[in-house]
């Protein structure tokens, strides 16, 4: 049974005050808050287990290794990957994307085509632009529609035999649009192109089944789903990851080293050079366990209710314009009040203890499309409440009076 009061008690930060007011945290799309169940795992690791993994013969190292590898299996099961060694634990979504972009350098040639979408975060644009500069490949962009969805007919027209890779986010960070990734993946496969899906914004709300999606690469970050910062996932199909050259050289990723020739370790270690974020990896597993204990169906239906409630209430405010009106979206509302600057609104809400995001959300092409400097973005999580949304609406009413 979904009990938000009980859930909120798991998050110590939700009871703190900001500027003398109880915190209302609506910046969940930037980072989610951390429950005691995850904080305790991090504390326990440094209290009881701390040691280096995969190479010690001593007890602590063995226990830490077991905990780290158990976390990898938790991640594998959560995302329904075929093998645990298809899960590469990285520093996060950005590193996962850069790993793939770097590893494809030798596999692409001038004239090859890569497709991204107009809804991408800068982290899913810039690494591919850099890859194109290195290889002479060309970047094509799936355009967006006024509702903030992707123009799928235009996507069809972009696909051809020169298409090698397609990169699209599962959910847009700036607008909350859920993209039709099944269709995107199937159509890319029809021209023998590979697909990377950026799941950073989807995973807090949706539990993707990677084998059912038949996706080639899927990346995400732990800190968006109640885990710590500095850890994330790169999923890749075994056959593809085996074909790719290593990303970084160092310890852990080798089989044998001589000055003449080094051979590389098997998956996943080939892509995990150096001592990893051990506590972070273990806590990533704990975060998924925590979210699964609440249940993604319960989370989705509760958040859909919050989104409807907030959308209806916000639309009643004078001069409000909501960006991103896809029929399928996560609990994110990106908006402006006509004539007011998002920075001013965000600053006043902050004085009332309400945390929202303002600016271009690292998605400048979307802001350029709408010809706006940025938006105010309120992003909700399963631990938020309708009472908090009421406070946001009251806060906005005050801000509008003050600023006009």
Partner 1 sequence: MKTIAERQQEVIEEFSIFDDWMQRYEHMIDLGKSLPLIPVEYKTEDNIIKGCQSKVWVHADLEKDQLVFTADSDAIITKGIIAILIRVFSHQHPKAILEANTDFIDEIGLKEHLSPTRANGLVSMIKQIKMYAIAYQTQLN
Contact residues: partner 1, CB under 8 A = 19, 340-344, 346-348, 350-351, 358-360, 373-374, 398, 402-403
Of 324 and 342, CB closest to partner 1: 342
How many H-runs (helices) and E-runs (strands) does the chain carry? 14, 17
Radius of gyration of the chain, Cα coordinates, nearest whole angstrom: 22
**For the purposes of burial, counting CB atoms within 10 Å of the CB of 251, is it exposed (0-12), middle (13-18) or buried (19 or more)?**
middle
Of 109 and 398, CB closest to partner 1: 398
- Look at the block and give the residue holding tokens 């989104």: 307
Of 80 and 229, CB closest to partner 1: 229
Least CB distance to partner 1 at residue 19 (A): 7
Bond preceding residue 185 cis, omega within 30 of 0: no
Cα 293 from Cα 170, distance rounded (Å): 23
Report in angstroms the alpha-carbon separations of 208 from 159, 201, 250, 268.
25, 12, 32, 21
Cα 128 from Cα 108, distance rounded (Å): 12
Least CB distance to partner 1 at residue 130 (A): 21
203 catalytic per annotation:
no
CB atoms within 10 A of CB 174: 30
Least CB distance to partner 1 at residue 344 (A): 5
Confirm if 151 and 145 have CB atoms less than 8 A apart. Answer: yes
Least CB distance to partner 1 at residue 333 (A): 19
Least CB distance to partner 1 at residue 220 (A): 24
Least CB distance to partner 1 at residue 351 (A): 5
Looking at 132, 203, 226, 362, which residue is catalytic?
A: 362
Of 105 and 404, CB closest to partner 1: 404
- Look at the block and give the residue holding tokens 């809400």: 349
State the DSSP H helix or E strand holding residue 212, giving kind and residue range, or none if neither. Answer: helix 210-213
CB atoms within 10 A of CB 48: 11
Least CB distance to partner 1 at residue 123 (A): 15
Can you tell me whether residue 208 is helix, strand or coil? coil
Residues 282, 383, 328, 194: what is their CA dihedral angle, to the nearest 10 degrees?
-10
Q: What is the DSSP string of 138-160?
A: EEEEE-B-TTS-B-HHHHHHH--
Of 51 and 351, CB closest to partner 1: 351
Of 287 and 337, CB closest to partner 1: 337
Of 55 and 398, CB closest to partner 1: 398
Q: Is the dihedral of CA 8, 10, 13, 15 positive or negative?
A: positive
Report in angstroms the alpha-carbon separations of 45 from 12, 69, 89.
20, 14, 17
CB atoms within 10 A of CB 69: 17
- Sequence length of the chain is 404
Q: Which amino acids are annotated catalytic?
A: 362
């Amino acid at each position: 049974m979904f009990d938000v009061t009980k859930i909120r008690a798991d998050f110590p930060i939700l009871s703190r005050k900001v500027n003398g007011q109880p915190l209302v945290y609506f910046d969940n799309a930037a980072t989610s808050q951390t429950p005691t169940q995850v904080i305790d795992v991090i504390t326990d690791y440094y209290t009881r287990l701390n040691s280096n993994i995969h190479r010690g013969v001593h007890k602590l190292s063995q226990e830490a290794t077991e905990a780290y590898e158990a976390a990898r299996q938790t991640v594998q099961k959560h995302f329904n990957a075929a093998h645990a060694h298809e899960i590469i634990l990285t520093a996060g979504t950005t590193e996962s994307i850069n790993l793939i972009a770097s590893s494809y350098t030798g596999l692409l040639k001038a004239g090859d085509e890569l497709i991204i979408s107009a809804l991408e975060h800068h982290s899913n644009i810039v690494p591919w632009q850099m890859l194109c500069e290195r290889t002479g490949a060309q970047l094509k962009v799936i355009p967006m529609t006024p509702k903030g969805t992707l123009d799928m007919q235009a996507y069809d027209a972009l696909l051809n035999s020169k298409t090698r890779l397609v990169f699209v986010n599962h959910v847009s960070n700036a607008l909350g649009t859920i993209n039709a990734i099944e269709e995107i993946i199937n159509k890319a496969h029809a021209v023998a192109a590979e697909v990377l899906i950026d799941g950073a914004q989807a995973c807090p709300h949706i539990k993707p089944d990677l084998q059912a999606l038949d996706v080639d690469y899927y990346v995400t970050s732990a800190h968006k789903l109640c885990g710590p910062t500095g850890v994330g996932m790169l999923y890749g199909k075994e056959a593809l990851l085996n074909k790719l050259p290593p990303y970084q050289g160092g310890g852990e990723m080798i089989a044998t080293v001589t000055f003449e020739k080094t051979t590389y370790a098997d998956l996943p270690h080939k892509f995990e050079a150096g001592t990893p974020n051990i506590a972070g990896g273990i806590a990533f597993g704990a975060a998924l366990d925590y979210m699964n204990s609440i249940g993604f169906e319960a989370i989705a239906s509760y958040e859909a209710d919050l989104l409807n409630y907030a959308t209806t209430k916000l639309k009643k405010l004078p001069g409000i314009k909501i960006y991103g009106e896809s029929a399928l979206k996560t609990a994110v509302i990106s908006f402006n009040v006509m004539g007011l600057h998002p920075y001013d609104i965000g600053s006043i809400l902050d004085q009332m203890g309400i945390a929202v995001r303002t600016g271009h959300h690292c998605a400048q092409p979307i802001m350029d499309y709408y010809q706006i400097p940025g938006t105010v973005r309120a992003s909700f999580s399963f631990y938020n409440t309708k009472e908090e949304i009421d406070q946001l609406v009251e806060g906005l009413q005050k801000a509008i009076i003050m600023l006009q």
